[in-house]
Structure 1
Amino acid sequence: MRKAEYFSKDFEWEDLRAQVENDPSFSYHLLPFEPTSFSLNSVATDQSRSSAADGSHAWNSFHHRHSSGKFFKERRYLLEEFPELVNWKGNSKVLEVGCGNGSTVLPILRGNENIVVYACDCSTEALDRVKETIDASNIAAVEHHFHPFCCDFSVTTFPTWLACNPCRENFTQTSQQRLTDGRGESETDPNYTYALKESKCCVGGVDFVTLIFTLSALPLKRMPESIKECFSVLKPGGLLFFRDYGLYDMTMLRFEEDKRVQFREYMRSDGTRSYFFCLDTVRDLFVGAGFKQLELEYCCVKSVNRRKGKSMQRVWVHGKFQKPV
């Protein structure tokens, strides 16, 4: 119970909202975005990187600077937030989008010996780090359970071997046919079973997708298509687990005014960026991509910096979404 409270309700988000919106020093976070010469240059630079397929440069530099691994902590709490990752019966497949150095992948592999994780990142530097992390974990037969690959899902599609076009079409057609025939609750139909079998050309789709502090690194305008990509590789009934920065998180309030590049979007001096989500935005993005909302809430965590004696109010958004059957 203590862990559940720590990771969700240390304080009320509405109380924090009132505090922020009544503080004049935070007023620039609330105003409509008006581009300055700095922000225009930043956006232009970001767009240039994207069009040249070089958007990973900033994240390569980021992971190189933090290559020691001490910067990241293993996210063991995710197995409590998303227990399906360890309680799922039988073998299951996970696509971890934006795997970074492995702080999300590692607890998943430790918690479920029957799971297979496909992990991607736009940064080759991050993939080098995650391979080192997993190789040093001493997890039995990890080479059969962990498959990293490079992919920037915000500017390109996922590899066809995750779910090839025929498989995606079979998933869609079978789901539509079952609804037409009034068999929406049955999973014993032979056509349905056939559609979910692994084909010779791909892994047949995944059971879970994890988006853990990944979506916020994209410009808002690229998020809808990126989420649709995640939707396309999920099996019908599959789940997407989401956790990311929430509106009025301490990190947002620390950004100076000249770091704004859009409304609720900020760019750090190293070129990496962060978006801060409200619940309505998350709901619109995922429901708009075809997902069914199962869970959506703010996680409000009070963290204490013991060395400096400061209390920090962290806000994250927790979401669980399902691809309709």
Structure 2
Amino acid sequence: MRCVFHNPTIPKTKAMSTETEYHSKDFEWDQLREEIENDPSLRYHFQLSSQPETIQFSPSLSSHDSQAWDNFHTRHSTGKFFKERRYLLKEFPELASCDENSKVLEVGCGNGSTALPILRGKERIIVCACDCSTEALERAKELIYATNIVSVSHRFRTFHCDFSVSGFPKWLACNLCQEIFSKKGHNCFSDFSDKMRNDLNDFFSSEGNYCCMGGVDFITLIFTLSAVPLHRMPTAIAECFSVLKPGGLLLFRDYGLYDMTMLRFEPEKRVGFREYMRSDGTRSYFFCLDTVRDLFVGAGFTELELEYCCVKTVNRRNGKSMRRVWVHGKFQKPT
């Protein structure tokens, strides 16, 4: 299967790769919507439930989600199921042009298919990668450490975390540093004066703590939020906001409304409006632009880019053309 993408800032006539052309407007989303919504056989996808379900948080539900993804990555342990996201630095060129030693938090890293091109593309960038699945983290470490990337052992760190439930660890951005950022407008721990650094070090020593890394410059949320139950998404995005430095960017890509994958789900797989659960227990939500905008702006982010990517992919084995819909977004934490 061959996927094609485009960064709107790059002319389509310019050759990007010997294998791939980048574009995102193979068809119009509004035309796809009209076609789908006028098809009686697909009507169940956008009908509201007559008896809305009231969902309450339960640790057992979170444990179920993690176990489902553990099982998923165990079945796909070879890593061939996921392809390296080579388009990433073209869709998000800020990652390629960032300052040296910039810090990236890759949320929901899976087998490392997003972290790998970031580490390849910038020799001094630092990537912290988390996932709710311990099996996924093992696959990611195997993939990254098997490459010949420069100094990868010093630039790549994994940790187990379900950011929609427990939040991020304090070593990313502690409460004290977040408070200082908000009051003083500093962007990182290294920006502090010597006196401020000494005061902080004294505090951490006296409390038996250690200083955090002062927040991150970028967060990548690539096909991750859709796997989070809808009612936990606002909490998850608020957590991302809390560890991002002022002026930092959150880079988003996920499943869009009326994507081919959504239309393949049968009625009994619906677990909510635009929300589905696969037979293996993993779930997927399909976003419209308004939902994404409401979630991120509601958490305090400023919208920089938000659009549908409408791409035709071709299955080389059977020649079938399939219409994929993704949501592409860039959001900034105000300075």
Find the counterpart in structure 1 of residue 5 from structure 2. Answer: none
Give the counterpart letter for 1:194 in structure 2: F
1:194 alignment partner in structure 2 = 192
Partner of 2:192, secondary structure, is helix
Once the two structures are superposed, the pairs formed by residues 143-154 of structure 1 within 5 Å of their partners are 143-154=153-164
Inter-partner Cα distance in structure 1 for 2:131 and 2:58 = 19
How far the C-alpha of 1:306 sits from its partner, in A, is 1.7
Q: Unaligned 5+ residue runs, structure 2?
A: 1-11, 202-209
SS in 2 for 1:143: helix
Q: Deviations over 1:164-186 (max 9, x none)?
A: 110111111224xx9xxxxxxxx
Cα separation, 2, equivalents of 1:297 and 1:192? 36
Residue of 11, 14, 22 corresponding to 2:38: 22
Question: For residue 130 of structure 2, what is the aligned residue in structure 1?
Answer: 120
| Displacement after TM superposition at 1:54 (Å) | 4.7
TM-score (norm 2): 0.86
Q: Does 2:277 align with 1:286?
A: no
AA of the residue aligned to 2:44: Y
The residue correspondences of 1:26-41 to structure 2 (distance < 5 A) are 26-34=42-50
Uncovered stretches (5+) of structure 1, i.e. residues with no partner: 179-186
After superposition, the C-alpha distances for 1:221-271 in whole angstroms (9 at most, x for unaligned) are: 100010000000000000000000000000000000000000000000100
Matched, 1:93 2:103: yes
| Cα drift, residue 34 of structure 1 | 4.0
Asked whether the equivalents of residues 6 and 301 of structure 1 are also in contact (C-alpha less than 8 Å), the reply is no
Distance 1:192 1:161 in 2: 15
**Partner of residue 259 from structure 1, selected from 269, 274, 293:** 269
Pair 194,155 (structure 1): closer, same or farther in 2 beyond 3 Å: same
Partner of 1:104: 114
Query: 1:55: how far off?
Result: 3.0
Contact 2:189 / 2:214 at 8 angstroms: preserved in 1?
no
CA contact (8 A) 2:70 2:136 kept: yes
- Change in Cα spacing, 1:66 to 1:299, as seen in structure 2 (3 Å) is same
Per-residue CA deviation, residues 247-298 of structure 1 (Å, 9 max, x unaligned), is 0000000000000000000000100000000000000000000000000000
Deviations 1:107-141 (A, max 9, x none): 00000001000000000000010010011111121
Whole-Å separation in 1 of the counterparts to 2:190 and 2:219: 21
Distance, in Å, in 1 between the alignment partners of 2:121 and 2:50 is 47
Residue deviations 1:3-24, cap 9 Å, x none? Answer: 6974411111111111101111
- TM-aligned CA deviation for residue 208 of structure 1: 0.2
- Distance in structure 2 (CA, Å) of the matches to 1:148 and 1:55: 19
Question: Which residue number in structure 1 is paired with residue 226 of structure 2?
Answer: 216
| Structure 1 residue 33: Cα displacement | 2.1
Answer yes or no: is the 8 Å Cα contact 1:96–1:210 preserved in 2.
yes
Matched, 1:49 2:60: yes
Mapped partners of 1:23, 1:48: distance in 2: 39
2-side partners of 1:105 and 1:192: how far apart? 25
Aligned to 1:13: 29
Q: 1:272 and 1:202 mapped to 2: Cα distance? A: 33
Q: Aligned letter for 1:33? A: S
| Partner AA of 1:108 in structure 2 | I
Residues 276 and 149 of structure 1: is their aligned pair in 2 closer, same or farther, counting only changes over 3 Å? same
User: Could you tell me whether the CA contact under 8 Å between 1:174 and 1:192 is conserved in 2?
Assistant: no
Give deviations 1:171-227, integer Å, cap 9, x for gaps: 11224xx9xxxxxxxx8xx99932898975111100000000000001111000100
Give 2:191's aligned amino acid: T
Identity percentage of aligned residues? 68
**Which residues of 2 match residues 148-167 of structure 1 at below 5 A?**
148-167=158-177
**Residue type matched to 2:112 in 1?**
G
Distance 1:169 1:107 in 2: 33
Distance 1:118 1:260, change over 3 A: same
The alignment of Structure 1 onto Structure 2 pairs a total of residues equal to: 307
Matched to 2:103, the amino acid is K
Question: 2:6: which partner in 1?
Answer: none
Aligned residue for 1:303, secondary structure, equals strand
Conservation of the 8 A alpha-carbon contact between 2:126 and 2:155: yes
TM-score, scaled to structure 1: 0.88
2:323 equivalent in structure 1 = 313
Cα deviation, 1:26-78, whole Å, max 9, x if unaligned, reads 10011102469xx99xx89x956336x45310000000001111101000101
